[in-house]
Amino acid sequence: MTKQLLNTIQFKEPLPNIIDYWNLFNTTGWNVEYNFTTADLEKAIKNSWYSLSVFNSEKLIGFGRVIADGIHHALIVDLIVHPDYQGKGIGSMLLDRLVKKCEENKIRDIQLFAASDKYEFYEKHNFEKRPPNAPGMQYKTRQLTRRSS
């Protein structure tokens, strides 16, 4: 990361403006499948145990959140860095801060979902792939009809 960028980014705990988050979320391509509305996303992030936003000046360029029970299990979700800012270390700093928050609260089991092309990034941060015979399953969702925003 350049020193100039490092001097202009800020990490903030309050939830971002929902329109700013909506715009950032839609850079991922995830909403093609999920078809969330702004109201859906606002409800989701408000129900997080912990969230952290990254700003460059006043522009939202990153976001991550944790869903947790506060003691035993935590799931890191929605780790997003705007494409214009990827590869600059922002995702690493964001992930490190989310993990640190879990560790400070002595959460014993920190998990996340990752696309196979992102495994290497997470392995650099002490996450490991679960073996093929490891316990765990994912619910296969039915197509839901969503309202438009």
Q: Residue 114 maps to which CATH number? A: 3.40.630.30
pLDDT (0 to 100) of residue 134: 79
Residue type, 34: Y
Report, as ranges of residue numbers, the positions in the chain whose pLDDT lies below 50.
149
| Calpha distance 124→92 (Å, rounded) | 9
Residue 85, helix vs strand vs coil? helix
Question: Domain range spanning residue 76?
Answer: 3-123
Which residues are catalytically annotated? 122
Instruction: 26-31: list long-range contacts, CB under 8 Å, 24+ apart.
Output: 27/80, 27/82, 27/83, 28/80
Residue 143 lies in a domain: no
Number of separate domains in the chain: 1
Report the first-to-last Cα separation within the chain, whole angstroms: 36
pLDDT (0 to 100) of residue 145: 55
Residue 130 lies in a domain: no
pTM of the complete model:
0.88
Contact criterion met (CB below 8 Å) for 97 and 126: no
